[in-house]
Chain A
Amino acid sequence: MSLNLATLDTASLAEEARRQIEICNACRYCEGFCSVFPAMTRQKSFADGDLTHLANLCHNCRGCYYSCQYTEPHEFDLNLPAALAEVRQDSWERFVGPAPVARTFQQNGMVLMLSMVAGIGVLFWLIASLRPTSGEGFYAFLSHNAMVALFAPAFLLPLAAVAVGLVRYWREVGAGRLAIRHVVGACAQVANMRNLGGGQGQGCNFEVEDRYSNARRYFHQAVMYGFLLCFAATSVATILHYVFGWQAPYGLLTPPKLLGVPGGILLVVGTIGLAWLKTKADKKLGAVRAWGGEMAFIALLGFVAASGLALYAATGSHLVSPMLAVHLGAVLTFFLLLPYTKMVHGFFRLAALLAEETKKKTA
């Protein structure tokens, strides 16, 4: 691009996206690819909030780049996926503050990876210094109470930060009142990742340039469902613990493991796949400055899953203690930095689809 988007501030990023959107709105050839275009054609002029909304509806499938007759070296210099990615990235950093912290982790993969190492170090230290006198399974190394004391706030505080961000988002884009039908409509789109299907199920233009491929959609589905399964496993275990007094360790044929093991495998496969696709895709069609952070986040997520599986495999061996530290350290990092990593895209993407449902119906 002729503009160096990476160095621009919020206003200039919006300005560049507006310039491109206005060209698209006079063209509309890409209308069939995704939700962005039908949302765009409702208007003739675009306030900053409208751009934030369109940017969060875009999932960087790149269909509109490879099929655009106005891309570089044409003087219109269209690169809508990148322009929207920058506005989107910037919006997360503004909404889920503090912005400098967000920017640091979103952009800098090395910092993220070092944080993980630090997180693991903290867990080694905790296990070494807080080792309980009794307890079974993992709890022989770190008591249940210590785990809760550590992870409950590490989970809830970041979620609170994201929630604040979502409220800011909702206000900025001027979404309407939410009704059940909006939720149903949005969730249906998430469930099959309709928008990653390129409009007709042919997929994205991601790793094979102007050819369509569903690889990204499938790997991403593996990650999403893997994550949800792992989350469900943890939730079920919590219920078993508190409601039924059934404590870990759980055997292979118990609900937590039946959910968690396939979830972990899906996550590992999905993250490896997504990272691999990312190395093949053109960086310049995304938010270039966030590439390293995104890659590190995928690595972190994959590592959380892989270390969880390894921990399970190590049951009964002398490796349990170090593996527990490694896994819990990665999990801790994942949760603490959740508001400042690519993980927030899940929340904002759902919010954007919900907002779009409310706008569609009221339009």
Chain B
Amino acid sequence: MANVKDTASHLGETLWDVIVVGGGNAALCAAITAAEAGARVLILEGAPKAYRGGNSRHTRNFRCMHRGPLSVLTGSYEEDEYFHDLMLVTKGKTDEGLARFAIRSSEECLPWMEAHGVRFQPSLSGTLSLSRTNAFFLGGGKALVNAYYNTATDLGVTIVYEAQVKHVHLEGDRFTHVEVSVAGAPQQSIRGRSVVLSSGGFQSDIEWLTRAWGPAAANFLIRGTPYNRGVVLRDMLDQDCESVGDPTQCHAVAIDGRAPKFDGGIVTRLDCVPFSIVVNRDGDRFYNEGEDVWPKRYAIWGRLVAAQPGQEGFSIIDSKSIDLFMPSVFPPVKADTVEELGVKLGLDGAKLKQTVETFNAACRPGEFRPMELDGVATEGLTPAKTNWARPIDKPPYYGYQLRPGVTFTYLGLKVSQDARVHTLRGPLANVWAAGEIMAGSILGQGYLAGFGMTIGTVFGRIAGREAASRVS
């Protein structure tokens, strides 16, 4: 793209009011807010236009507090319940002040989003349980991202794609310029009065991931964009910025093993586990598949599979269960006998047969109720299956290979309530952070569906407002 480089060569001539690093939800909310406050804004998006929008383009909804029916949201979802839900998943690893602030602010986000082009739709089929708490984007996250890019363009924001920020230059406690390479061209300096960092986590830097997690991480699949490599995060940490969140951890779920290495997104998820038995590549079961309803358990299966040899698992069901979960993106492997299924999956067929038979023998009669904890459990089996334990005996049999799919990493920049970035020596004068790059402050562990976009929207808007206000 010659014209990308063309426009890029003039960028250094301007002293920008606000430079926004990244081009996802948090970046766009910041850029739009700053532009509306009258600032001259530059967005540096590392990805090419076709892949703009980072992980935000893969999202489907955001979690929103509301005291009564609001837009597509039914009933009410008040601060305390929202906070309670957050405490459950993070096991208390959250900054209560910041979390409550984000929750309270989410209510005014929804009308703001609508006013800036985002459209909502009632919760998607198969996700009724979220219709009260989560507002779904019409067309998903990419439609949201498109709407924001259009709004930003109309506001006169300058947008540069393929703009990889390599370094954020600080002098003392002040930001002066960024070093950026546009479309592979040599690095250039672009000066700004303030900067908003919204370049996501580091999960796409597999090397970093393996240093943090261990060699097994080389086999992980990355559910989102390949462009979130944590370059800016690393650069800021190297400049003594305060960090937050466990540097060794990432949020991982079990996804279809055939998914692409990057960017497989939502469709690679598999919801069959509770109705299946899951074995490792040796053909052995390793965890209670029926511990709880799937929305409460899917996040632990990433870790469980990651701990198995080769970082793979195999979910085995029979034809009784094939229609009980959302369709998978790739058709399951199918066979008329368990043994044959095992062979097709690359397992020892006889061993799989034996595991299934042992499991079947431990099943007890009971009323199978797929939508709730039905207590239909195995007896005398280790590990037990404590719900939905029906014998796997009705051909054809189906199998899916599972692998860990990383959603995001927890390590981030510590910020205060005004989204300001801090170093060990104190706050920086003109550097703000929003979105996944600072989410560790609130989501120290676990994940609450739809909260990532809430954090990005709330703190993106604050960062944009604060950054613009330092200029005038």
Contact = CB atoms under 8 A, between A and B. Distances in A.
A172 interface: no
Contact of A29 (B60, B150, B328): B60
B267 interface: yes
A258 to B, nearest CB: 41
A32 B260 contact: no
Interface residues of B, number: 33
A186 B101 CA distance: 48
A210 B146 contact: yes
Contact of A202 (B119, B146, B149, B329): B119
Contacts of A232: none
Given A23-B329, A67-B143, A32 B265 contact: no
Contacts of B327: 22, 25-26, 44
Nearest to A210: B146
A31 B267 CA distance: 14
Given A69-B57, A72-B50, A211-B150, A63 B329 contact: no
A312 to B, nearest CB: 44
A29 B125 contact: no
Interface in B199-229: none
B211 to A, nearest CB: 28
Contact of B125 (A26, A31, A33, A68): A31
Contacts of A199: 121, 138
Interface in B282-331: 322-323, 326-329, 331
A220 B119 CA distance: 24
Interface string B245-281: 0000000000000001001011101000000000000
B193 interface: no
A28 interface: yes
B461 interface: no
A74 interface: yes
B126 interface: yes
A214 interface: no
A44 B119 CA distance: 28
Q: Is the interface of A mostly helix, strand, loop or mixed?
A: loop
A22 B327 CA distance: 8
A30 B329 contact: no
B152 to A, nearest CB: 13
A254 to B, nearest CB: 47
Given A41-B125, A67-B146, A73 B50 contact: yes
Nearest to A74: B263
A70 interface: yes
A26 B121 contact: no
A73 B323 CA distance: 32
B56 to A, nearest CB: 10
A66 interface: yes
B58 A69 contact: yes
A166 B137 CA distance: 37
A355 interface: no
B266 A27 contact: yes
A74 B51 CA distance: 9
A54 to B, nearest CB: 15
Nearest to B119: A200
Give the residue among B122, B140, B322 with the most A Cβ atoms within 10 A. Answer: B140
A131 B125 CA distance: 66
B124 A28 contact: yes
Nearest to B138: A32
B138 A200 contact: yes
A26 B60 CA distance: 13
B449 to A, nearest CB: 15
B68 to A, nearest CB: 22
B139 interface: yes
A71 interface: yes
Nearest to A32: B121
B391 interface: no
Contact of B139 (A23, A38, A67, A76): A67
A68 B266 CA distance: 12
Interface string A16-40: 0000001101111111110000100
B326 A32 contact: no
B121 A68 contact: no
Contacts of A28: 124-126
A71 B328 contact: no
A312 B362 CA distance: 87
B55 to A, nearest CB: 10
B328 A26 contact: yes
Contacts of A63: 139, 143
Interface in A52-85: 63-64, 66-76
Contacts of A210: 146, 149-150
Contact of B326 (A26, A64, A71): A26
Nearest to B325: A44
Contacts of B57: 69
B23 to A, nearest CB: 14
A71 B269 CA distance: 19
A22 B265 contact: no
Given A26-B326, A27-B267, A69-B263, 12 more contacts: A26-B328, A27-B329, A29-B60, A29-B124, A30-B139, A32-B121, A38-B125, A41-B126, A67-B138, A67-B140, A210-B150, A211-B150
21 contacts: A22-B327, A26-B267, A26-B269, A26-B327, A26-B329, A27-B140, A28-B126, A29-B124, A29-B140, A29-B143, A33-B139, A44-B323, A66-B143, A67-B143, A69-B140, A69-B263, A70-B265, A199-B138, A200-B138, A202-B119, A211-B150
Interface of B: 50, 57-58, 60, 119, 121-122, 124-126, 137-143, 146, 149-150, 260, 263, 265-267, 269, 322-323, 326-329, 331
